[in-house]
Structures are given as structure tokens and as C-alpha cells.
């Protein structure tokens, strides 16, 4: 079924402007940006190309933007072509070089990506994002590696740019962890997260608790019995806490002959924002017909992104918040939950630069608090979804993968495919912070990693012990 008409006043304004001034190149460029934000990707492509036809200045910027757009559309070859067009016009155009390096990272082409990050730094030695990404793209093995001192110097030089400092400190923490300097690594991560709190605000535990409480109050068996659709579509959702192994599970499944990797799709959050506000209050009067229409829209967008795919994975960790809604929209959906030991999970989150929406990540106690809140929510989802949920324990998976994978594929209704055990050889596009970890064969290095940081994790241990006490009472 067709999507509801766009109600964005900015889009309407620009469309009206271009109806009067069809040869306004800048107007087409700006409309393309608006279309992209509205997920109208094909319209965005058309508008970008029209701006080029009309002779817009700085065409290299348009081609670089088109590359980003095609990457989001899961068309990496077209994306690369656009970046190369941009660089053919302006060989030292840093945004195109940086975006191309990112695309090569996503495709697992480490050496080529590293070469581009180094090239950027020869053009602009203070392009700090390139230095940070260079550090994350390599495993450092020696405390004498010059990259460590380069990062220390960059942190000092970026003193007037806290956002750049934050990224550099995360990168410094990563390379110090690589070489086993755990105390120094933790201090770098601590400083990075302190900057993150200043830039994006602190986590509010009470607000988070109210949010989870509202979900628990809305999603129960009574609501589900009234709202559930009769749809037969069975998309695969992979979710859980961030850094709990969801990217790894998706990468493994994408090696299966019948599975297409979707990555961290923003389709469901976008639909939720566009069609179901205010959420979750709007659900009080939602009808199965309305939910069915939204489900159809979701499937049509997936088909547009991945035409002909038999099974597509939707791997947004935060979809774990919406499993009750997913159950109503897709009664036949398969839900794969990833779970990881609390201390390892919280540390892994603390060691990543995440975003404003994940502001619990900047404090270990806050992260542990959110972990426990999510566990409370999962109890409800298990009660509602029952046999629709399969839980993958990260440590079990990396310790002995084949039994876990056989059970998972059986749950998904898929035949055994030994290629899943050699997933690291696949050339799938990975668009998450785990881009390099999932290019390696399975290993247990990250299991029990928290022990390297034992002196620094009292906050996690306190909540872990509290949780264990609650479970036993």
C-alpha cells in the first residue's frame, strides 16, 4: 500500500518554490537533504542529480552526499562510484575521502581504509576524526607504537574542541587497552565519558524508570489480544543491550544463503515517530487495521532496500524497547535477543562513544542501572512473546558456536549452513561500532574482559550483587 502523504512543511515549501523556480539548483540541493531526512531516498537522489544538471557550485559536495545516500540505501558500489566522482573533481576533498574510508571499513577493507585515513592526515594533520578512526581500524601491539604518542599530542592540541577531544580520548583508551596498559586506558575512557556527560547531559535514572514503567503498563496480554494483527510476515529482529553481541549474531546469520543483513535499520523508529505519536499513549486506541497498515509500510520499505531478499535481519539493539509493538504488528516475527555478562557488557558500552540517546553509557553505575531496567522489561516480553523469542548468550556462542547456531537456525526455520561458522569471510556491509570485531574468527578474548579492570568497576559489582540478591529472594 502507498505511504501516507508527507506532511513536512519544509518539504512542501521547497516543492512549491521549485514549482515556481524549476531551475533553482540550490533549491533542488536543499530539497534533497529534506527528502533524505524523510527517508524518501529515491526522491533525494533525483533532486541531487537535478542540482548537478542545473550547474550547482561545488559539485564534489553533491557527489559526496550522494555517496552517503547510496550507502544508507545499502548500495555500496553506487556509493563508491559517487565518492570517486567527487574525488575526480577535487582529489583532496576531505569529506569524500573520509566517507570513502568509512565505506571501505564497512566492507572490511582495512588496509585501503587505513591508507585513506593517513592520506587525510597528510592534507590536514588536525582532522582529528581521521586520527581516531585510524586508531580504531588497527590493533596496536607495542607500547612504542608512534600512534599512541600521536593520540596523546592530539588530545592536548584539541583542548578547545571538547567534541574532538572526546573522540580522541576514546581512541587513546582503545590503543592503550590493545597493549595491556589497563590503568591508563581506563583513565582515558573516564575522561572521554566525562566530556560526553558535559556535552550531552547526564542520564536520569528516574526518567528511565518512568519510561520502562509506562511500557510495562501499556503492553500486557489484554492489549495484545485487542491490537494484534493477522499478518503473516515474519521479519527477523535482533536486539538486546548495546555491545551484547547483536552485530556478531547478525554477521553470522548473514553468511547463511537465505539471509540478507539489514544492519541497524531506522525504519521502525521512523514509523513509530511518524505514525504512533505520542508513544506509547497512542496505542490505547490503536486498531489492528492501523497497526496492519504500519506493518505493511515497514515491509514495503524493507523490500525497497533489499528487493528479492528471502529473509532480512533488522538489528537495532534498541528495538528491544518495542517488542510488544513488534509482536502486535508481526505475530509471526522471529525475535533474537542477545545477552552478555553484566560486567563485560557495561564496560564495553563505557568504552564506546555512543550518542545523546544513550547517555547512560557515560557512567558505569548508570549503565548497570539501565541494564537492570532492561532485564525487568525483558521479563514482560518473554511472557508476551514466548516461543517467538530466542536468546543467544554471547559467552556460550563464542565458546562453542555450532550447537548455539544449529538451535538458532532451527528457531528461524532455516536449514543448517556451515558457512555460518566461517562468517568472517563474508563481504557484507557492517555499519556499527563492531565493524572490525566481527571481521575476526570467533574468539573468547572479550569474555571476562572485566577482570582487566577489576579495580575500577565497583559501581557495576554493587548493582550486580544487588540483582543477584533480588533474584534469590
User: Coil, strand, or helix at residue 83?
Assistant: helix
Rounded Cα distance between 409 and 420, Å, is 10
Confidence tier at 464 by pLDDT (50, 70, 90): low
Cβ–Cβ < 8 Å for 151, 167: no
Cβ–Cβ < 8 Å for 246, 240: yes
Instruction: Flag whether pLDDT at 2 surpasses 70.
Output: no
Q: What per-residue confidence (pLDDT) applies to 468?
A: 53
Which position has the higher pLDDT, 4 or 145? 145
Instruction: Flag whether pLDDT at 427 surpasses 60.
Output: no
Confidence tier at 386 by pLDDT (50, 70, 90): confident
Mean pLDDT, all residues of the chain: 90
Q: What per-residue confidence (pLDDT) applies to 444?
A: 77
| Alpha-carbon distances, residue 350 vs 189, 197, 239, 337, 379 (angstroms) | 7, 12, 19, 21, 25
| Alpha-carbon distances, residue 20 vs 11, 15, 89 (angstroms) | 14, 9, 31
Rounded Cα distance between 454 and 86, Å, is 49
Rounded Cα distance between 381 and 375, Å, is 10
Rounded Cα distance between 222 and 227, Å, is 9
pTM of the predicted model, to two decimals?
0.88
Length of the chain counted residue by residue? 473
Rounded Cα distance between 432 and 417, Å, is 25
Q: What per-residue confidence (pLDDT) applies to 446?
A: 85
Rounded Cα distance between 422 and 417, Å, is 10
Name the grid cell of 255. Answer: 553468511
Indicate the range of 9-13, 317-321, 373-377, 438-442 predicted with least confidence.
438-442
Q: Domains plus CATH for the chain?
A: 126-200 (1.25.40), 207-472 (3.40.50.300)
Rounded Cα distance between 221 and 227, Å, is 10
Instruction: Flag whether pLDDT at 21 surpasses 90.
Output: yes
Please provide residue 205's backbone torsions phi and psi, each rounded to the nearest 5 degrees.
-60, -40
Integer Rg of the chain from CA: 23
Q: What per-residue confidence (pLDDT) applies to 426?
A: 59
- Please name every residue paired with 313 in a beta bridge, in sequence order, or none if there are none: 236, 261
Calculate mean pLDDT across residues 23-42: 93
- Please name every residue paired with 312 in a beta bridge, in sequence order, or none if there are none: 260
Confidence tier at 4 by pLDDT (50, 70, 90): very low
Name the grid cell of 98. Answer: 573520509
Rounded Cα distance between 150 and 132, Å, is 10
Name the grid cell of 241. Answer: 543491550
Instruction: Flag whether pLDDT at 382 surpasses 60.
Output: yes
| Closest by Cα among 339, 340, 376 to 450 | 340
For 37-57, what is each residue's pLDDT tens digit? 888 999 999 999 999 999 999
For 291-319, what is each residue's pLDDT tens digit? 999 999 999 999 988 998 889 999 999 99
Largest CA distance in the chain: 72
Name the grid cell of 331. Answer: 505475530
Amino acid at each position: 500500500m502507498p505511504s501516507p502523504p508527507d506532511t513536512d512543511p519544509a518539504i512542501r515549501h521547497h516543492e512549491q518554490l521549485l514549482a515556481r523556480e524549476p531551475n533553482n539548483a540550490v533549491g533542488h540541493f536543499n530539497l534533497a537533504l529534506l527528502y533524505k531526512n524523510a527517508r524518501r531516498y529515491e526522491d533525494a537522489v533525483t533532486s541531487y542529480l537535478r542540482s548537478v544538471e542545473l550547474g550547482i557550485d561545488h559539485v564534489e559536495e553533491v557527489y559526496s552526499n550522494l555517496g552517503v545516500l547510496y550507502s544508507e540505501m545499502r548500495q555500496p558500489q553506487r556509493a563508491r562510484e559517487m565518492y570517486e566522482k567527487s574525488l575526480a573533481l577535487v582529489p583532496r576533498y576531505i569529506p569524500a575521502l573520509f566517507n570513502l574510508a568509512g565505506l571501505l571499513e564497512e566492507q572490511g577493507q582495512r588496509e585501503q581504509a587505513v591508507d585513506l585515513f593517513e592520506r587525510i592526515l597528510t592534507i590536514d594533520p588536525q582532522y582529528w576524526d581521521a586520527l581516531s578512526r585510524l586508531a580504531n581500524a588497527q590493533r596496536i601491539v607495542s607500547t612504542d607504537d608512534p600512534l599512541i604518542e600521536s593520540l596523546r599530542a592530539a588530545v592536548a592540541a584539541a583542548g578547545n574542541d571538547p567534541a574532538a577531544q572526546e573522540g580522541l580520548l576514546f581512541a587513546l583508551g582503545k590503543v592503550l587497552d590493545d597493549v595491556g596498559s589497563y590503568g591508563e586506558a581506563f583513565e582515558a575512557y573516564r575522561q572521554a565519558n566525562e566530556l560526553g556527560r558535559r556535552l550531552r547531559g547526564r542520564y536520569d535514572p528516574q526518567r528511565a524508570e518512568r519510561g520502562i514503567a509506562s511500557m510495562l503498563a501499556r503492553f500486557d496480554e489484554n492489549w495484545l489480544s485487542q491490537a494484534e494483527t493477522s499478518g503473516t510476515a515474519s521479519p527477523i529482529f535482533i536486539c538486546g543491550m548495546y555491545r551484547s553481541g547483536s552485530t556478531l549474531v547478525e554477521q553470522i546469520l548473514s553468511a547463511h544463503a537465505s539471509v540478507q543483513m539489514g544492519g541497524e535499520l531506522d525504519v521502525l523508529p521512523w514509523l513509530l515517530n511518524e505514525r504512533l505519536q505520542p508513544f506509547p499513549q497512542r496505542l490505547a486506541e490503536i486498531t489492528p487495521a492501523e497497526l496492519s497498515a504500519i506493518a505493511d509500510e515497514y515491509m514495503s520499505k524493507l523490500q525497497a532496500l533489499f528487493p528479492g531478499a528471502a529473509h532480512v535481519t533488522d538489528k537495532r539493539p534498541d528495538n528491544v524497547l518495542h517488542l510488544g509493538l513488534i509482536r502486535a504488528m508481526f505475530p509471526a516475527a522471529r525475535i533474537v535477543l542477545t545477552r552478555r555478562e553484566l560486567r563485560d557488557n557495561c564496560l564495553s558500552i563505557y568504552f564506546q562513544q555512543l550518542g545523546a540517546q544513550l547517555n547512560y553509557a557515560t557512567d558505569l553505575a548508570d549503565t548497570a542501572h539501565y541494564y537492570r531496567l532492561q532485564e525487568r522489561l525483558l521479563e514482560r516480553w518473554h511472557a508476551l512473546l514466548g516461543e517467538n523469542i530466542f536468546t543467544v548468550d554471547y559467552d556460550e556462542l563464542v565458546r562453542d558456536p555450532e550447537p548455539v547456531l544449529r538451535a538458532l537456525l532451527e528457531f528461524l526455520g532455516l536449514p543448517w549452513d556451515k558457512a555460518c561458522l566461517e562468517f568472517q569471510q563474508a563481504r557484507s556491509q557492517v555499519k556499527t561500532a563492531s565493524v572490525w570485531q566481527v571481521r575476526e574468527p570467533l574468539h573468547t578474548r572479550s569474555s571476562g574482559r572485566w577482570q582487566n579492570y577489576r579495580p575500577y568497576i565497583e559501581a557495576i559489582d554493587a548493582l550486580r550483587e544487588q540483582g543477584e540478591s533480588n533474584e534469590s529472594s
